[in-house]
Structure 1
Amino acid sequence: MSDRIDIPTDDGPMPTWRFLPESGSGPGIVLFQEIFGVSDYIKARGADLAALGYVVLAPEIYWRLDDSEIDESRDDMLQRAMSVMGRVDWPKAVSDGATAVAAARADEHVHGGVGVVGFCFGGGLAFNVAAATDVDVLVSYYGSALPNLLDLAGDVTAPSLHHFGESDDYLSTDVVERVRAAVSRDGVQFETYAGAGHAFDNPHPMFHHADASAAAWRNTVDFLATYLPATGR
């Protein structure tokens, strides 16, 4: 089950999608979008997480921007998304993410801890939010901003899972290894996937790598079950 809620911020209400498990309650997960926004794909992942027993909040991080709609059926969707993302005020996005975590903790349906999960743009945002506020678990898929956030690695103390494709044209092998070196510690799992490019979990034919997507999701499910178990599983 999903609904739309507004999360109050200092600048106004932030539209947010909420996904509830069949039981109606469970641990919380704040789900951070790709550069394409809270797309059908992100909503599907929100529903997948809810099916595992989590209460999922997916805030619309582009809510402050005018003209932020992205049509994923267009050939220029990637250029359009990059243009929209380039207008994001990163500190405000981090503040919004931390506010969403606080909202999850206060949600009447959330019983237990609260984790953050993010994809691409959202993978880096989730990492920064985990550094800025207390979360119980972090899962980051190919966080595009991570190379510029490594000075925050010491502030991320939650158990963490990182996913990267080994054929990522956006994040080279050298960059991924630099990220690995910076974030590695007890409680951190770092997974790479042969043949997978950037955004390999996105089902769009431009990005999708079926084997890597399936393997990464299995790793995510197992990781969450270990560090933020939900009774719905």
Structure 2
Amino acid sequence: MTNITITAADKTGSFSVYTAAPKSSTGPAVVVIQEIFGVNYNVRSICDWLADEGFFAFAPDLFWRQKPGIELEAKNPEELQAAFGYMKAFDGQKGLDDIQTTINHARSVSGVNGKVGAVGYCLGGYLAYMTAAKTDIDASVGYYGVSLDTKIDEAKTIKKPLMLHIAEKDGFVSPEAQAAMHKGLDDHPAVTLYDYAGVDHGFARIEGSAYHKEAATLANKRTIDFFNKHLKGA
């Protein structure tokens, strides 16, 4: 586990990427897309978990244009408010550019089999959806993505597999928004949606107040099975 630095595609600077490698010498890669709290302990632990499952993992610092190295915690009220501020100022297109740059780097890493997936949470769940629509990713997973109901039209460009985990009681995604997601995506041949009854936004964040072990375990198993199928061919 280490940090590397990648030059941005627009040449305006460079950003840090936390990386974790599997014990096996070869395998696919997964880009881990942060929540609004930066590449914090939670994001790094997801990378480490994926490495344990046989994937090279890469988590780019997507807020670097505002402030490099942001690490915030949801349980701290002041840091939560700061996180919302960073999210509002975030340039989504630049973020997607940085994700594509990270994908390109991952494919160039010795041992990576050429296949690269993405998994994102919250803001990252939204970006995982947009990554499926706007980049050359091989497979994507989004956990409790926000504002997806406003981007249903983007689904027409999604050709590679996408899985979305939806929290039924998500305080940031209304029942109406969830219904719109199902209406617009249920019949899409590349998209699979799973609903998790009675759980709130952030149900897979281990140290979060909304953590739900049973739902998180099921979602994580589905994620690994999905990546094994589409990135490893298992």
Per the TM superposition, whether the score is higher than 0.5 is: yes
Instruction: Report percent identity of matched pairs.
Output: 32
Deviating more after overlay: 108-117 vs 72-81 = 72-81
The answer to whether 1:168 aligns with 2:170 is yes
Q: What is the deviation of 1:165?
A: 0.9
State the partner residue of 2:60: 59
Work out the CA distance in 2 between the residues paired with 1:177 and 1:108: 43
Distance 1:70 1:3 in 2: 16
Instruction: Show the counterpart of 2:155.
Output: 153
Asked if residue 13 in structure 1 is aligned to residue 7 in structure 2, the reply is no
Counterpart position of 1:46:
47
Structure of greater relative contact order (alpha carbons < 8 Å, 6+ residues apart): 1
Question: In the TM superposition, what is the alpha-carbon distance from 1:171 to its structure 2 partner?
Answer: 0.4
Partners of 2:90 and 2:66 in 1: CA distance:
8
Distance 1:113 1:175, change over 3 A: same
**Is the CA contact (8 Å cut-off) linking 1:137 and 1:160 kept in structure 2?**
yes
Between the aligned partners of 1:44 and 1:70, the Cα distance in structure 2 is 13
Residues 126-184 of structure 1 show CA distances to partners (whole Å, capped at 9, x for unaligned) of 21122112111110111113223222111111111100111111101221121122223
Q: CA deviation at 1:67?
A: 7.7
Normalising by structure 1, we get a TM-score of 0.92
1:71: how far off? Answer: 3.7
Q: 1:220 corresponds to which residue?
A: 223
Q: 1:211 — aligned with what?
A: 214
TM-score (norm 2): 0.92
- Structure 2 counterparts to residues 169-208 of structure 1, below 5 A: 169-184=171-186, 185-208=188-211
- CA distance in 2 between partners of 1:91 and 1:8 (Å): 16
1:123 and 1:157 map into 2 onto residues whose CA distance is 18
AA at the equivalent of 1:5: I
SS in 1 for 2:180: helix
CA RMSD between the two structures: 1.7
Preserved CA contact (<8 Å) 2:203 2:216: yes
1:49 CA drift (Å): 0.8
Confirm or deny: 8 A CA contact 1:165 1:198 kept in the other structure. Answer: yes
Q: 1:27 to 1:230 in 2, by over 3 A?
A: farther
Structure 1 71/57 Cα, relative in aligned 2: closer, same or farther at 3 Å? closer
Structure 2 counterparts to residues 9-158 of structure 1, below 5 A: 9=8, 10-66=11-67, 69-72=70-73, 74-158=76-160
